[in-house]
Amino acid sequence: MLNPIHMKKIFISLFASVLLLSGCKELIEIEMPNAKPILVVEGEVTTEMDSSFVRLTLSTNYYQSEAVPIVQTADVTVNGVPFIYVPSLQKYKPATGFVGKTDSVYQISINYENKLYTGETILYPMFRVDSFFQIWKEASGPLQAGYSLSYAAFDSRPIPRYTAFIQGYFDTIVQKDSIPGNTIVFNNEITPANRPYSFEIPFARFNTGDIYFATFRSIDIKMRDFLAAYGSQNPNIPGPFQVPPANLPTNISGGAVGYFVGYDVKRFRYAFK
């Protein structure tokens, strides 16, 4: 058994070692190789007039704080229709009046610095949403008393077909639409086929005067995969529970990243009475 004198010497020795280790600090600089910039594509063809666009940027170093470089000099066509760069929007746009058509295949062609990038998407039709309706409900579990909101719909599309759903509300304080959540992706394997049905917006209660809005967009399976991967990369979970960074899937060939998608868009706004 150690006597108190020996224990004191050991403690002093350990304390001195900690001081020496904490006092020795050396700045080590690690050079991170700068990869060659990659073309990043954001392309959409929609059934809303004049909303189709293509946005081209270049990838940057992970640690770079400068603005993302905008590509302005590419030749862009969709099914042979020229998309011209509009400086005020920093996007490539077709001529006024362009509208995407459902059940159509769209192909994008991008020529940038003598390199060709291509992609393809199918613009599927959205299912039919006939109306929204409210029902008063008493408090239940974590939900306070208030109005539930449901929509009446009919879906005759083949299975599976995918929908990207975004919802929000009109903020009366700032007088603008607010979108608090992420895009929800679902398919028509979980809803009745070829007959009317209603679906209640889950985990939500509303009051008289509230204004709710929802946007439905049909998407193909490649965009479904992109959104699923993007959601896993942005889980809003801090620390060690985050998903390690990885390249997202893309339907652009030629070495670019990003997406090219066709949307049949349906928008709805409902004011609670």
List per-residue pLDDT tens for the chain, 273 residues long: 444 444 344 344 444 444 444 444 455 454 545 678 999 999 999 999 999 999 999 988 766 667 889 999 999 999 999 999 999 999 999 999 999 999 999 999 999 999 999 999 999 999 999 999 999 999 999 999 999 999 999 999 999 999 999 999 988 788 888 877 778 999 999 899 999 999 999 999 999 999 999 999 999 999 999 988 887 776 555 555 555 555 788 999 999 999 999 999 999 999 999
What is the per-residue pLDDT for 194?
Answer: 96
Same domain, 151 and 102: no
Same domain, 137 and 241: yes
Report if residue 141 sits inside a domain: yes
Residue 216: HSE in the Cβ half-sphere, 13 Å Cα cutoff: 19
Q: Is the dihedral of CA 202, 204, 208, 214 positive or negative?
A: negative
Report if residue 167 sits inside a domain: yes
What is the per-residue pLDDT for 176?
Answer: 82
Same domain, 166 and 86: no
- How many domains does the chain fold into? 2
Same domain, 153 and 242: yes
Same domain, 178 and 194: yes
Report if residue 252 sits inside a domain: no
Same domain, 167 and 217: yes
Same domain, 148 and 88: no
- Domain residues for the domain of 94 are 39-123
What is the per-residue pLDDT for 19?
Answer: 43
What is the per-residue pLDDT for 175?
Answer: 81
157 exposure class (CB count in 10 Å sphere: 0-12, 13-18, 19+): middle
What is the per-residue pLDDT for 263?
Answer: 97
What is the per-residue pLDDT for 172?
Answer: 79
Distance between CA atoms of residues 81 and 104, nearest Å: 14
What is the per-residue pLDDT for 234?
Answer: 61
**Strand-pair partners of 253:** 118
What is the per-residue pLDDT for 65?
Answer: 64
Instruction: Select from 145, 129, 132 the least CA-distant residue to 271.
Output: 132
